[in-house]
Amino acid sequence: MVTSNGEVDILLVIHFVNKCFNLTDKDILIISIMASVIRVAKLSDIAIIPTRGSDAAAGWDLYAAEACVIPAQGKAIIKTDIAISIPKGYYGRVAPRSGMSWKNHTDIGAGVIDSDYRGAIGVVMFNHSTKDINIDRDNRVAQLIIEKINTDMLVEVPIEELDATIRGANGYGSTGQ
């Protein structure tokens, strides 16, 4: 029930428990729901657990754990004082919040959180404006989107062994304007 990298395979656990205790469909559903939560840890008393603006929101809002200034035409790392356990087969993408980007000319960089990372989450914010931006503690500064990924093995092959496409090697603007 434990994979080679030490993680629990929840489907095998459910199958094993079902064989031992003859679970109902409702029991299996409850276990599945409990297994699908994403665990978040506060690293300080002032940290705020990410929230979603609505039930249909794709991202979880990340909050600044302390005040800071993003200098004009500069960048800074904003502390969130949280750590997260992202399920295997997924990664966390730290993305801009549309309102902040539009109103303050900001962008977010270095936004990949691997599923095996357990350290503090920081938000790399770029300020493209000509004025400093003041970030207050508890401001929503970015959003965390959990995305499924493909981690299949890469195999080196000669260029002739890549499948042919209509586009071929045409890049940078070749598909339209």
pLDDT at 2 over 50: no
Residue 14: which pLDDT band, with cuts at 50, 70 and 90? low
Q: What mean pLDDT, rounded, does the chain reach?
A: 88
For 30, the enclosing helix (H) or strand (E) is helix 25-35
Q: Domains in the chain, please, with CATH?
A: 1-37 (no CATH), 40-148 (2.70.40.10)
pLDDT at 168 over 80: yes
Contact 88, 6 (CB under 8 A): no
